[in-house]
Amino acid sequence: MFSRSLLGNFARSAVIASRSTPASSLLQCKAASVLPLHSTTAIQNLALILSRGFKVRTSVKKFCSDCYIVRRKGRVYVYCKSNKKHKQRQG
């Protein structure tokens, strides 16, 4: 919700700036100062949405026959070939 309001304010200020001054230098200056911050947070949010993380539990177990247990980095992980929702991490 915050990102929409930030983008909306940026778009409105860009339109107002382009109407008031014919030179595009003001518009480029505002785009350079606001856009990289917004685009990096949008990319990070998109990455969080698209990647499915692990369920963190004190004790992990297999949910189906396709689940398998792996020990890496001093932790126990459960992966599943058929259902990605079964991913778990102990700790």
In a domain? residue 74:
yes
In a domain? residue 75:
yes
Mean pLDDT of all residues belonging to the chain: 73
pLDDT less than 70: residues of the chain: 1-39, 44-51
With CA atoms as reference, report the closest residue to 79 among 89, 56, 31.
89
Nearest-angstrom CA–CA distance, 89 and 81: 16
In a domain? residue 59:
yes
Question: Residue 73 belongs to what domain range?
Answer: 55-90
CA 13 vs CA 2, 8, 19, 31, 54: distances in Å: 17, 9, 10, 10, 41
Q: How many domains, in total, are found in the chain?
A: 1
At residue 22, the pLDDT reads: 56
In a domain? residue 70:
yes
Nearest-angstrom CA–CA distance, 43 and 39: 6
At residue 74, the pLDDT reads: 93
In a domain? residue 14:
no
Q: Write down the pTM of the prediction.
A: 0.45
